[in-house]
Chain A
Amino acid sequence: MADTMPSYIGRSVVRREDNRLVRGAGTFVGDMKLDGMVHVAIVRSQLPHAIINGVNLNAARAVDGVELALNGDDLKDVLPPISGMQVTAPKTWRDGMDPRIEIPDQTLVPYDKVRYVGEPYALVVARDRYIAEDAAELIDGDFETLPPIANAEAALDAESLVHDHLPGNIAATLHARKGDGEAALEAAPRRLKRRYFHHRYAAMPMECRGVVAEYDSRTDSITVWSSTQVVHWVRREVANALDMAEERVRVVAPDVGGGFGGKGHVYPEDILVAYLAKRLDRPVKWLEDRHEHLLNAAHSRDNLFDIEVGFDDDGKISVVKNYFLVDSGAYSPVGAAIAGNSIAHFMGPYDIPHYEADCKVMMTNRTPNAPYRGAGRPEVALAMERSIDLIANELGLDPAEVRFRNMIQPEQMPYAVGLPYRDGVMIEYDSGDYPEALRKALDGIGGLEAFRERQKAALAEGRYLGLGLGCYVEGTGIGPFEGATVKIDSSGKVMVATGACPQGQGHETAFAQVAADIWGVDIDDVVVTVADTSHVTMGYGTIASRSAVTGSGAIQESSDKVKEKVFAIAANVLETSEADLELRDGSVGVKGVPDMSMTLKEVARAALPGWIHQRPEGIEAGLEGTAYYEPPTVTWAYAATAAIVEIDAETGAVQIENYVEVHDAGTLINPAIADGQVKGGLVQGIGGGLFEEPSYDEHGQLMTGSFMDYLLPTASDVPPINVIHSETPSPRNAFGFKGLGEGGAIAPPVVIANAVCDALKPFGAELNNTPVRAEDILNILESGAVAAE
């Protein structure tokens, strides 16, 4: 940090992104128009599982305005598949998880068989998108249908295989152990065994995906603009597929209209569009429409759990056995990473001595499953937090009390969980006060006892009120690294570029706050560049609630390198020692001597190469530094959530009266941005808990191909939400930051399920599957009514 710090960190600075975005003057991929640009339409499978006998392109090729039509056969010897291992894992993680991982490669345009409804099997390039879509309509595929595999459980015993080389349709298995689960179960005074299902839903950003590419034959280089969260991954895969030097591939994510994980890996279209631009030597554009997005952009969640918990008469949990299946669809773009998250996060904020987890990642004939906001955590929160409520029911205790009895106490911090995290480091929760968060959440809904009295009074009037609780922890700011380059040029401005790729998180503002504090300059003197591979050599991207932690760390480390030169040169010019210098108000000055200083602009000029430089011996020209921050391990954000619902007995509708989340992401850079991130996540979670579900019929057809069937929450669906931010600094970085992009989305499905079950307790209701549907509630009410008669 600078010595005289204006301290932008912690202030709700107005976002610098807003001015262009409220004017409609942002540039999204769809807004791009390049000279001579042609347009791609992709022909997608309408069958979930079928052998491709042939794809006839003749009619499409004959359409006036069509430049090119290609099928899988045309491309199979030209473009390699995307490797099944976009994400790697360190050896120490593999040692702890005993994984067998055989994630299949993904052929960009299959030539042998299609594996899900929406998978590409041909494409057309034409003068405009209307013509491309007309021609795509004329493409005939000759298919031989195969029995579709509808879900993870069916996949285990299915005779047909999604991928011939994966017997049992198993793409990965993971195992983890802490203590002795079997013995602990034997010894437990009580046991609870349940099956839970967290349904599939999806990120659903308002901007669908899109890619534009332009090839420059003079330099044999290509620029790809993609609506992605991971420009450096896209660069790597494009360079690999086109056999080009990475240096000749530039990938830019311009303004990106939401991502939430759904744009967090490389898709076939990223590579296909780049290939077509090079092949045709013309700019090429592909824009996904909403129907394609619903079919083809990654879905998420979709886990089936068989859980057994051992506990005593006080509700203290001694052991959890967690066996689960992940329906990963036809591919698994990030391998077993989500399942790994699920295993690692199961025990949440609770002190549980014994744990066993076994998981199978299954291939089915559904849309590929990839991380979406929460990525494995909402799923296990459902299983863990429902189990706690069921234990409470069995013992006649309040669910809040059972949570308090099992929570890790603040004096146990840092707390060793006994499992490896995905970065290979043994998990140690770094800081926080979990019981306090739950107490605050209960206060936020007006107090537990007051609610129980209200609930009783309401029930006497025939009204059903329920309280739902949900607590979670979240490993955030994962490595392996993030890159940043920091420069001060002769304008004197501080220029920061990172590998982060925002999709609405306000990184240009937040990183300007961080850099302004590091340099002690006015925030307007910080220029931030994001999501452009030409500005930072290696980067990782914005996924997994990581950018605040890892981007800031990289900015700090690269700034430190530049500061060394700044001080050396200023000491030389001011004829003093470096130790006597400090950064203040955009200048380097002698401590205690207000009028002895030079501006960063003057230092930058003194640092220039050439005849008139003022650098001391041994200091290289220029003020520029690049660093790759490799975090020691993750930081642990956490939250406790409480919501009150009322059930409409006539319709089965769930009315959320009040939703409170006490959330701790360490020191906040920009509290208003942080608040927006948590609330935005919460509303996505409420959507997932109540409305959103890609539903398939018995033939494997997706029935939710439009926004009329796939329901997103609207302004009138949103309850009053109160997010209370605690700020327990993480000891793992200089700033005290923890990540927070995903957290809000983790708890709502289980909080709603718990609240509804609490409301319907008189009926002995158990809802162990999401989403919570009105018809399920009506069934409970009806069966209860019958029982009462």
Chain B
Amino acid sequence: MTTSRTISLTINGEVLSGEAAPRMLLADFLRDVLGKTGTHVGCEHGVCGACTVIVDGQAARSCLMFAVQAEGADLKTVEGLANGEELHPLQKLFSEHRALQCGYCTPGMLMTAIDLVESNDSLSEEDIKVGMSAALCRCTGYEGIIKAVTAYAEQVHGKPVSREDNNG
């Protein structure tokens, strides 16, 4: 076992550091070392998307990264979405559109959706379905999730989401 080292990174605008062995997953580092348990772990092999966080502006599976790979990175996690009591617009939409039941996949869904919407300004509904297929939900059947993300895309980009498939 190689010795632990100190990892420093920015999470939701705050510089934090903690000890991690080289093999420690970023998900475990966030949860067990830094106490940021909002990021959940559903499969530990990169399929379910529950552990999705935003690393340097891009959605990433924190179960497929080592903590050491995040040294110096700028992370956004679910804990950074709300502003105190005030929920992030997408969090409000998730509740309004019944996009969650047990809430286990929700943090990963939110981070996946934020990356999808904020990096694409002309999403169709089909794009949203395909994009959100990066994360699994076992409770809702996805209808509420698609509605919430569609409404969020319309808010962010100030125009309706096309019902047609952009890719034909």
Contact = CB atoms under 8 A, between A and B. Distances in A.
A256 B102 contact: yes
A681 B41 CA distance: 23
Contacts of A31: 31, 37
A23 B31 contact: no
Contacts of A18: 94-95, 100, 103
B60 to A, nearest CB: 16
A504 B32 contact: no
Contact of B78 (A23, A672, A679): A23
Interface string B107-133: 100100000000000000010111011
Given A504-B100, A715-B132, 12 more contacts: A14-B95, A25-B38, A26-B103, A205-B102, A206-B40, A257-B102, A258-B104, A290-B45, A681-B141, A707-B43, A707-B45, A713-B142
B136 A504 contact: no
Q: Which of A24, A205, A208, A503 has the most CB of B within 10 A?
A: A24
Interface string B144-161: 111000000000000000
A15 interface: yes
Size category of the B interface is 35 or more
Interface of A: 14-15, 17-28, 30-31, 33, 130, 204-208, 255-258, 260, 289-291, 503-506, 672-673, 675-677, 679-684, 706-708, 712-718, 721
Contacts of A675: 98
Nearest to B48: A707
Contacts of B101: 258, 504-506, 676-677, 680
Interface of B: 21, 23-24, 31-32, 35, 37-45, 47-48, 50, 77-79, 81-82, 87, 91, 94-96, 98, 100-107, 110, 126, 128-130, 132-133, 136-146
Closest A-B pairs by Cβ, 5 of them: A24-B38, A21-B103, A257-B104, A504-B102, A683-B141
A460 B91 CA distance: 49
B103 A17 contact: yes
Given A14-B95, A505-B101, A718-B143, A206 B31 contact: no
A609 B31 CA distance: 47
Given A19-B95, A23-B81, A206-B136, A33 B105 contact: no
Contact of A206 (B39, B50, B130): B50
A715 B96 contact: no
Contacts, number: 170
Nearest to A712: B136
A760 B28 CA distance: 50
B142 A504 contact: no
Contact of B100 (A21, A679, A714): A21
Contacts of B81: 23
A14 B99 CA distance: 12
Contacts of A289: 44
Contact of B87 (A19, A28, A207): A19
A714 B136 contact: yes
Contact of B40 (A30, A504, A708): A30
B104 A206 contact: yes
Nearest to B41: A30
A207 B106 CA distance: 12
A553 B22 CA distance: 55
18 contacts: A17-B103, A21-B103, A22-B91, A23-B81, A23-B91, A24-B38, A27-B37, A30-B37, A130-B23, A205-B102, A205-B138, A206-B137, A255-B104, A506-B101, A676-B140, A707-B48, A715-B130, A715-B133
Given A25-B38, A684-B138, A718-B141, A257 B146 contact: no
By secondary structure, the B interface counts as loop
Contacts of A714: 132-133, 136, 142
Nearest to B94: A22
A682 B141 contact: yes
Contacts of B133: 714-717
Contacts of B44: 289-290
A425 B13 CA distance: 62
Nearest to A21: B103
B106 A21 contact: yes
Nearest to B128: A715
A291 B43 CA distance: 8
A206 B108 CA distance: 11
Contacts of A712: 136, 138
A21 B107 CA distance: 8
A22 to B, nearest CB: 4
B132 to A, nearest CB: 4
Given A14-B95, A680-B101, A721 B143 contact: yes
Contacts of A713: 142
Which of B44, B47, B81, B132 gathers most chain A CB within 10 Å?
A: B47
Contacts of B79: 23-25
Contact of A504 (B48, B110, B139): B139
B24 A130 contact: yes
Given A708-B45, A716-B133, A258 B138 contact: yes
B2 to A, nearest CB: 12
A205 B24 CA distance: 25
Nearest to B99: A22
A374 to B, nearest CB: 15
Contacts of A681: 141
Contact of B96 (A14, A27, A205): A14
Contact of A679 (B32, B35, B143): B143
Contacts of B138: 204-206, 258, 260, 680, 684, 712
A706 B42 CA distance: 11
Listed residue (B78, B103, B143) with the most chain A CB atoms within 10 angstroms of its CB = B103
B3 to A, nearest CB: 13
Contacts of B141: 676, 679-684, 718, 721
Nearest to A717: B133
B105 A206 contact: yes
Contacts of B104: 28, 205-207, 255, 257-258
Contacts of A23: 38, 78-79, 81-82, 87, 91
Nearest to B87: A22
A686 B106 CA distance: 22
B6 to A, nearest CB: 18
